[in-house]
């Protein structure tokens, strides 16, 4: 089966408070996206085999909770030359680096990070995270309304300065 042009890859554990932001954003988008155009994948964390999911895409958007952002941020990603030594999970940029080592240049990729504050097991989404989720959802809906052939260019215009984050 051919890969759909756009991949939304959300990370997070729905039972760990604001860590659920990524999966919840995909739930909010589910009824509004073209299933022939967009594939949605949810996982707890990024691993090397996710590089296989990036193949043959025109646009990839990673969605994750972030402890850094006040609300949400949309950044262009560049492949990271090295990956974290600290954990088993990969950052989106490191995953792109893995992709490049395996398959060559990765597709255009962005990180939609949504601000979260509390990540304890069994916690509900915090009120601040709920507000951030609403803003990020509106942003993603606007982005995905564009014509399929224009999505990558549209994403590039909306992204803030390319991030060197890991």
Binding region for another protein (CB under 8 A) out of 28-36, 67-75, 136-144, 149-157: 67-75
Residue 163 near residue 75, CB atoms below 8 Å:
yes
Binding region for another protein (CB under 8 A) out of 10-18, 32-40, 141-149, 154-162: 10-18
State residue 108 phi and psi, 5-degree precision.
-55, 130
Neighbours of 108 (CB within 10 A): 18
Q: Are strands 160-163 and 59-66 parallel, antiparallel or unpaired?
A: unpaired
The pattern of x and - marking residues 103 through 142 that bind another protein according to CB under 8 A reads --------x-x--x--xxxx--------------------
Q: By CB under 8 A, is residue 101 in contact with another protein?
A: yes
Least CB distance from residue 30 to another protein, whole Å?
14
Report the alpha-carbon distance of residue 25 to residue 133 in Å, rounded.
Answer: 7
The pattern of x and - marking residues 68 through 97 that bind another protein according to CB under 8 A reads xx----------x-xxxxxxxx-x-xx--x
State residue 46 phi and psi, 5-degree precision.
-85, 140
Q: Which of 4, 5, 8, 18 is close enough to bind another protein by CB under 8 A?
A: 18
């Amino acid at each position: 089966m051919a890969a759909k042009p756009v991949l939304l890859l959300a990370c997070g554990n729905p039972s760990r408070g604001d860590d659920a932001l990524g999966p919840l954003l995909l739930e909010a988008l589910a009824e509004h996206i073209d299933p022939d155009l967009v594939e949605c994948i949810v996982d707890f964390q990024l691993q090397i085999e996710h590089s296989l999911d990036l193949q043959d895409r025109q646009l990839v958007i990673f969605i994750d909770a972030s402890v850094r952002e006040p609300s949400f941020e949309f950044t262009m990603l560049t492949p990271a030359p090295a990956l974290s030594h600290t954990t088993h999970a990969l950052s989106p940029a490191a995953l792109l680096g893995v992709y490049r080592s395996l398959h060559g240049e990765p597709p255009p990729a962005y990180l939609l990070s949504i601000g979260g504050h509390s990540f304890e097991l069994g916690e509900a989404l915090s009120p601040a995270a709920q507000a951030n989720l609403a803003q990020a959802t509106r942003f993603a809906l606007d982005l995905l309304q564009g014509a399929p052939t224009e999505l990558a260019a549209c994403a590039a215009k909306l992204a803030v300065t390319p991030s060197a984050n890991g």
